[in-house]
Structure 1
């Protein structure tokens, strides 16, 4: 009786266990469904290269240079050029004087003596008397006198009335060497004043200089002639 009961119990548990196993298999099938497997050779996925940026052409070179930056230093005005030194006129004869406007006269050397001596004047319109210091003297005045007009003609010394400071006077000596002077003083005197200024103007003392003398102004006639004298002083250039 007991053996028969044990067999029944054992059969019952085996049946229950079989049912539990079947249910477990069913649950596993639902939880993990089978994956489809495709036969073949696996190949890596192709990488996609990022798109390249479009090439940009470089800008064309500039055809003109950019303007320089403004200077921060104030520009200084250029100094004036020195006055050009004129060469003696080609062909100026030895023993002649050329005045600022180009008039020329032949030199005639004269000597005067005594305190009351008068200023010698030339015999011709194209001449100039010369007395006093030599051109190479370190001191004293070289005095040249010429006519303003004569016999209806105009003399070269007439231009002294239009002379201006800085005008050039060129004297060539007997050897043809030029000596250049520049006008520094313009003086107009009445005929009566000239003797009073003679010691000052024609002195052989003081720095070397050239003194040019002519007459002009109002014509009064007689031995006086013109009422005034024009005196031009020129210093070595």
Structure 2
């Protein structure tokens, strides 16, 4: 419908060339509007192009299994973390069916992380990949700590997902505490000026603000809110440390 309206307006203003241009532009909007379907999972709300829910679920399950097996053992608490995610996203019946597939994936010896991440990079926006990395860190921490082996694997996955180094360090700092943790979350060095601290906070608050995640899915909203709160906490810590008003 939009393409015909745009074509009419284009013709009215620029005659035939304007009608052609208006039709093309309007078609793009029609296609964008028609691509939004129901029944998508948490991370699919911000996809670049249409992705089969089954394909996405399988790839997501595979990444979960890679993280769970990264330290050489399968933790029940990490399995429960993944199970809870699917329960909250799909409901009990579908979650149970998906988790049966997950158990099969866990038992597989070889899963190509690079291939899976390449698939996701081509089909998801950067914001979704940040959220995905945050979710994978949550799995690693579910048993009480993120091991060195898990950090190495998560860093490898972040590289395949084309997540920037500063963003990786920032998300990792939300799960692994250290002396300069607050600075890592804001992606700055401890030597920066107070003005640079304020600027970094505004930048990070904007990046992780829940309003930037346009979705009705509660799981994505919750993840965005958690990251936003961590950014706020980090800034408050630095404020107190430096006496920034």
Q: What's the TM-score once normalised by structure 1's chain length? A: 0.23
Q: Select the structure of larger CA radius of gyration.
A: 1
Higher helix share goes to which structure? 2
Q: What's the TM-score once normalised by structure 2's chain length? A: 0.23
Higher strand share goes to which structure? 1
